[in-house]
Amino acid sequence: MNKPASHRTRWILVLVVVALAFGLALMRALDKRREAAAAASAPTATSAAALELLPGDLVQAVPRELVATVAVSGGLQAVDSAIVKAKVAGELRALSVREGDAVKAGQLIGRIDASEYEWRLRQAEDQAAASKAQLDIAERTLANNRALVEQGFISRNALDTAVNNAAAARASLQAAHAAAELARKAVRDAELRAPLSGLISQRFVQPGERVNVDGRIVEIVDLSRLELQAAVPAEEIAALRVGQRARLEVDGVSSPVAARVARINPATQGGTRAVIAYLAVEPMPGLRQGLFAQGSVQTGGRMALALPQSALRTDRSRPQVLVAEDGQVRARSVELGARGEADFGAGPEPAVEATEGLSEGAIVLRASVGNLPDGTQLQLPQPAVGAPVAVPPGAPRP
């Protein structure tokens, strides 16, 4: 009777041992997973504790040339452009150019039906021929009357009448010649020719349409000379001078465009009181009439402790900048001075002078790092911006 009970006890002990072994193995596996997770999360925690910066995120506050500028903007316009208009009325028989076609000055680009003007020319020429015949008759009559007066066959009054008739015939001939020239000019005006070299920018009519006198046919634009027409406020116009250099950003053109002040309008615009300044733009591929451009004219420059304007934080009562000190972010209130443009390594950009609150050599964080709280740990790039350059022993110092 005790034999089955002991058999069950042994089986229970075996099951307990197996369960304990399985539990130990499971605990070891969980411990290994925790260690692996901790090892994987260790670098993340480190990186979260110290924000790694790139060289482009930092600017060293050192004296730089701060160029005073006047902002300009407006549309590009061709210095030379023309609208070809009809000089005579009639049906447009032919127009051989379309938008984008290049033309030369004097090139025949179209023709208006000149049948009516050709018939008028023929009529004027025939009238001139008739007037010439009448003048010949009047002159012969005058010559005969002069001879008869000398012989006493006719009176002096008859001679005067012959003189007047000859003068009238001569005037009629001159009027007929003038009418013929006008008719000839109308025939020539039926030919449409380009007044200047350039590109066709607009085509206003199509062959077969009737055009009136001064009706627009096409517009021609010469892109070899472009200028920016910028409205400058009256308080800034005194700083502009003819010949000053400018740097423009043009829509659709990737690189900056050079320009210079060519002319300044002597009068203000009605209503706005702004003054129009005309900037001659350097030719380059891609420039077109009507493109919007904006930039600045350089009016002077001086050395100053300049900072990128985008690095300023203006969400407080006083302007602030973020600086890197001892591996941490520190907010510094600054007093601002003149504004303009300065080169911080990537070309001219808007800048402002820091007159107080920032020491020379400080490392300023650009706006690309965001608005970091004071005390944020930083990992500066190596070598950090503004760090002293190591000099090997025995090497000459700069």
Which band of pLDDT confidence, cut at 50, 70 and 90, is reported for residue 49? low
Residue 91 is predicted with a pLDDT of 94
Range with the poorest average pLDDT among 13-27, 143-157, 295-309: 13-27
Query: Residue 362's closest CA among 65, 64, 58?
Result: 58
Across residues 272-293, what is the average pLDDT? 92
Domain boundaries, the chain: 55-62+312-379, 71-78+225-299, 114-188
The 3-state secondary structure of 275-287 reads: EEEEEEECCCCCC
The answer to whether residue 317 scores a pLDDT higher than 50 is yes
Query: pLDDT per residue over 129-149, tens digit each?
Result: 888 888 888 888 877 877 777
Top pLDDT among 265 and 39 is at 265
Query: pLDDT per residue over 215-244, tens digit each?
Result: 999 999 999 999 999 999 988 898 899 999
Q: Rounded to the nearest 10 degrees, how much is the dihedral formed by the CA atoms of 176, 181, 182, 186?
A: 140
| Residue 384 and residue 52 in contact, taking contact as beta carbons nearer than 8 Å | no
Residue 311 is predicted with a pLDDT of 85
Query: Residue 120's closest CA among 112, 108, 128?
Result: 128
Top pLDDT among 351 and 5 is at 351
Which band of pLDDT confidence, cut at 50, 70 and 90, is reported for residue 127? confident
| Residue 84 and residue 198 in contact, taking contact as beta carbons nearer than 8 Å | no
Give bridge partners of residue 264 from the DSSP assignment: 277
Residue 7 is predicted with a pLDDT of 65
Residue 43 is predicted with a pLDDT of 47
Residue 219 is predicted with a pLDDT of 96
DSSP 251-319: TT-SS-EEEEEEEEEEEEPTTT--EEEEEEEPP-TT--TT-EEEEEEEEEEEEEEEEEGGG-B-SSSS-
Query: pLDDT per residue over 180-225, tens digit each?
Result: 899 999 999 999 999 999 999 999 999 999 999 999 999 999 999 9
Give the CATH superfamily of 71-78+225-299: Efflux pump adaptor protein, beta barrel domain (2.40.30.170)
Peptide bond into 319 cis (omega under 30): no
The answer to whether residue 391 scores a pLDDT higher than 60 is no
Tell me how crowded residue 41 is: count the other CB atoms within 10 A of its CB.
Answer: 11
Tell me how crowded residue 135 is: count the other CB atoms within 10 A of its CB.
Answer: 21
Top pLDDT among 384 and 351 is at 351
3-state secondary structure of 65: strand
Burial of 255 (0-12, 13-18, 19+ CB in 10 A): exposed
Query: Residue 70's closest CA among 252, 275, 227, 270?
Result: 275
Give the architecture-level CATH label for domain 114-188.
Orthogonal Bundle (1.10)
Residue 384 is predicted with a pLDDT of 45
The answer to whether residue 304 scores a pLDDT higher than 50 is yes
Question: What CATH code is assigned to 55-62+312-379?
Answer: 2.40.420
Write down the mean pLDDT value for the chain.
83
